[in-house]
Chains A and B, each alone.
Chain A
Amino acid sequence: MATITSPVKAESRDLNFYYSSGHKALKGISMALYEKRITALIGPSGCGKSTFLRCFNRMHDLYPGNKYDGQIVMHPDNTNILDSGVDPIEVRMRISMVFQKPNPFPKSIYENVAYGLRVRGERNKRVVDDKVEEALKGAALWDEVKNRLHDLAFNLSGGQQQRLCIARALATDPEIMLFDEPTSALDPIATASIEELMSELRNKLTILVVTHNMQQAARVSDYTAYMYLGELIEYDDTDKIFTNPGRKETEDYITGKFG
């Protein structure tokens, strides 16, 4: 890779993953996420990109029988977050996630954003107030909701709900944020605002985004990884992947010959 100027924030080392059915969904994935950069995962449905993303916050632990094999090491502290001795809750405190479909909780806008602080036991109202405001501003939602913070979150539009989910994920100052196809349920205007937001967040934290939409990967990401059938085919600068891919398979996919 030509232009690596940023330290590694996290890296997977020879990561294999097995679903409880026995299906091997990831095959020896080794790749690094660079600090304050956006890394996109692309590939056809079922290629394992979401599976890979969900390893980073141990989401697979919620379903019995899933098995990780390999490491995801977080820097600078060199913790293998897949180690059975590491509490998945601790991992999720450092790495937050935005889902494919906006999934606000059945609470007010304010309480949605405050949720992460509440589960961490934060009781001080001033601290929570400040964090909620900061997070909503960070998610470019503050101006739209500042006068109705105590309305039910379901009353927001789809794009606003997704920005609320980003605010919720931001409020706890995560080091890495995972986006699992964050715009696939949104219209083009809402999609543009989420993409813009991701570019801004890049100043604060490291982002890993799964996307179905190749143009989106080209627009927002610094690095792009192409995955196919559980394997990492190619990982490079986004510019290079989209203009001059090193592998024939990648070229076939991004030119639409397949997938």
Chain B
Amino acid sequence: MASQVLQKPAEPTISARLAKNVRRHVLERVIEFILMLAALSAVATTISIVVILLYESFTFFEHVSLWDFLTDTQWTPLFENAHYGILPLVSGTLTTSAIALAVAIPLGTIGAIYLSEFASHRTREIVKPILELLIGVPTVVFGYFALLFVTPLLQRIFPELPGFNMLGPGIVMGIMIIPYISSMAEDAMRSVPMSMREGSYAMGATRFQTAIRVVAPAAISGIIAAYILGISRAVGETMVVALAAGQQPNLTFNPMESAATITAYIVQVAMGDLPHGSVGYQSIFAAGLVLMLMTLTFNIIGHITRKKFRETY
């Protein structure tokens, strides 16, 4: 039957259709090309950033050895006797990020579970936009919030806490990241099919058991993606730490001390403390490269874990 139908149409019909198809085909190609350009612009930007970082870092490493860069425990580009050891900046970045994540991951996950599994439709419609509003608050506002509100509050509990410290900005960064994590993790959990939940309820499970034992594991790859996004945000965050952590490179993991992060250093130098072309100025590219490698590492780890836990249903 099918083959007969295919043979049937007469010659003129086919060519008339083909003629139309040519125009449509060209149009399709044009649209495809425009779309490809849009996609390529993002890729091209990324590649050029990497190239510039590598190129400028290269001139930096002509003056400072890679060994010193990785092992020196002092970062003092502004001093007469300049040291270029990245470790103090890395420790500041890791400490503030760890504090932020210690706040954001538990609260973000609990928030996501609540919104996805417990909140009524109306509550969710009210709470979610408010949470997402937090994403829109400029980070400089969070920076002053850390410096002028959270740190003084913490000083009531820890009187010896200096005005610039890593704890305050770390916590505020965590609060800032919560909506990213909760919103993404909630989307992941909500996309778990209802049949999976029904299966759990039908076994006599409670809401909480269903959320923890069935829905969260089913959504784990999306939840991990949310965590990775949170980590990248924390590591790359600039204003909060630049304002409230003290901008003093300090090799310490103690949250009660002041320190500088990689991003805070870059912003400090880029604002004009060092003349263009000097070794100190070039150092921001090396610092930027380290930052990029750190986020890349987290992204790769996240990608691997996500693949490992990937669930299909």
Contact = CB atoms under 8 A, between A and B. Distances in A.
B311 A92 contact: no
Contacts of A92: 201-204
Interface stretch (B35-43, B55-63, B191-199, B297-305): B191-199
Contacts of B206: 89, 119
Contact of B313 (A62, A154, A165, A169): A154
Given A106-B313, A115-B213, A154-B312, A93 B204 contact: yes
Contacts of B312: 154
A96 B203 contact: yes
Given A92-B201, A96-B203, A103-B198, A64 B217 contact: no
A7 to B, nearest CB: 25
Contacts of A116: 203-204
Contacts of A90: 204
A129 B137 CA distance: 53
Nearest to B218: A106
Contacts of A105: 196, 199-200, 213-214, 217-218
A165 B311 contact: no
Contacts of B217: 105-107
Contact of B204 (A64, A101, A103, A172): A172
A53 B312 CA distance: 28
A119 B203 contact: yes
A87 to B, nearest CB: 10
A118 B201 CA distance: 13
B213 A165 contact: no
Interface string A62-106: 101000000000000000000000000110110011010101111
Interface string A155-171: 00000000001001100
A183 interface: no
Q: Which of A107, A118, A119, A165 has the most CB of B within 10 A?
A: A119
A62 B199 contact: no
Contacts of B71: none
A116 B202 CA distance: 9
B120 interface: yes
Interface in A103-148: 103-107, 115-116, 118-120
A115 B218 contact: no
Contacts of A59: 198, 201-202
Contacts of B204: 89-90, 92-93, 116, 119-120, 172
A200 B218 CA distance: 33
Contact of B311 (A96, A106, A118): A106
A103 B209 contact: no
A39 interface: no
B313 A64 contact: no
Contacts of A224: none
Nearest to B121: A64
Contacts of B199: 99, 103-105, 165, 168
Contacts of A64: 120-121
A208 B77 CA distance: 79
B198 A119 contact: no
Interface string B116-148: 000011000000000000000000000000000
B195 A103 contact: yes
B205 interface: yes
B188 to A, nearest CB: 12
Contacts of A103: 193, 195-196, 198-199, 313
Interface string B192-234: 0101111111111110010001100110100000000000000
Interface string B175-200: 00000000000000000010111111
Across the A-B interface, give the 6 residue pairs with the lowest CB-CB distance, nearest first: A92-B204, A97-B202, A103-B199, A106-B311, A93-B204, A119-B205
Interface of A: 57, 59, 62, 64, 89-90, 92-93, 96-97, 99, 101, 103-107, 115-116, 118-120, 152, 154, 165, 168-169, 172
19 contacts: A59-B202, A62-B197, A89-B205, A93-B204, A96-B203, A97-B202, A103-B193, A103-B313, A106-B217, A106-B311, A115-B200, A115-B205, A116-B204, A119-B200, A120-B204, A154-B312, A168-B203, A169-B202, A172-B204
Given A103-B196, A106-B220, 13 more contacts: A62-B198, A64-B120, A90-B204, A92-B201, A92-B203, A97-B202, A103-B198, A105-B200, A105-B214, A106-B214, A106-B218, A119-B204, A119-B206
